[in-house]
Amino acid sequence: MIRRFFGVILVLCVGASAASAHPHVWADIRTSIMTSPDGMITGVRMEWTFDEGYTTFALDGLDTNGDGTYEPDEIKPLTDENIANLAESDYFGFMRQNERVLKHGKVTDYTQIYENNRLTLAFVFPLETPVDPRKGVFDYKVYDPDYFIDFGYVKDDPVELEGTLPAGCSWELKPMMTDEELEAKRNFLAQQPVDWVNQTGEDFGSLFARPVVVTCKS
């Protein structure tokens, strides 16, 4: 069995289109805004806890010693493969400043654990170049552009700050769009030509994602 991170999606969703997409994998997520000692934003720490269905699929055959548990060394090959394959989709992370998409670097500090019948993948998603939040609004989203994976923030402590932002700067996890806002966005995207490219990074999946936004008082 091929254990690509997208294995479940490929099995369940072959032939599906973004217009009719609905999720087949669910992930409860937490994120952390990471800063340097001088207040520059350096990236985002991700923590994704997957549903039991995906977990069962992904772990099939990995209990190599047959003891009924999944030790770190048994899960590591899966984790390495997950991280390698996630690169194809930019790790489902989208960071922007002043509505311009920012380049990310290579992920670091990645690990995966199995607990309470669910897998949790964690990693650092760094910016290629740190940014100064005082130079414009910084925001990020975690989502699957095709909406086959539903990333949803946990209720308690969904976002944290690792480090310190400059004086006058703060962050906020924004709510989902209202039905009216969502319908307006859908109509807008439906009217664009097939070769349309939005420099702000907005696409179908972004409609269902909650942004974390960092702003600074002038």
What contacts 166, CB < 8 A, 6 or more positions away? 39, 132, 133, 134, 216
Per-residue pLDDT for 193 more than 50? yes
pLDDT score for 133 = 98
Per-residue pLDDT for 34 more than 90? yes
- Per residue, the 3-state secondary structure of the chain, as one string, reads CCCCCCHHHHHHHCCCCHHHCCCCEEEEEEEEEEECCCCCEEEEEEEEEECHHHHHHHHCCCCCCCCCCCCHHHHHHHHHHHHHHHHHHHHHEEEEECCEECCECCCEEEEEEEECCEEEEEEEEEEEEEECHHHCCEEEEECCCCCCEEEEECCCCCEEEECCCCCCEEEEECCCCCHHHHHHHHHHHHCCCCCCCCCCCCCCHHHHCCCEEEEECC
Per-residue pLDDT for 109 more than 90? yes
Q: What is the mean pLDDT of residues 116-144?
A: 97
Give CA–CA dist 93/145, Å, rounded.
10
Q: What is the mean pLDDT of residues 184-204?
A: 74
**Residues of the chain by 3-state class (helix, strand, coil), percent to 5:** 25, 35, 40
Is residue 17 a contact partner of residue 1, using CB atoms and an 8 Å limit? no
Per-residue pLDDT for 112 more than 70? yes
State the pLDDT confidence band at 132, using cuts at 50, 70 and 90: very high
In the predicted model, what is the mean pLDDT of the chain?
Answer: 86
Q: What is the DSSP letter of 53?
A: H
pLDDT score for 20 = 47
Q: What is the mean pLDDT of residues 191-201?
A: 73
Q: What is the mean pLDDT of residues 163-190?
A: 88
| Distances, alpha carbon 184 to alpha carbons 65, 188, 217, in Å | 54, 6, 30
**Residue 206: φ, ψ to 5°:** -65, -20
pTM: 0.83
Per-residue pLDDT for 21 more than 90? no
Is residue 7 a contact partner of residue 85, using CB atoms and an 8 Å limit? no
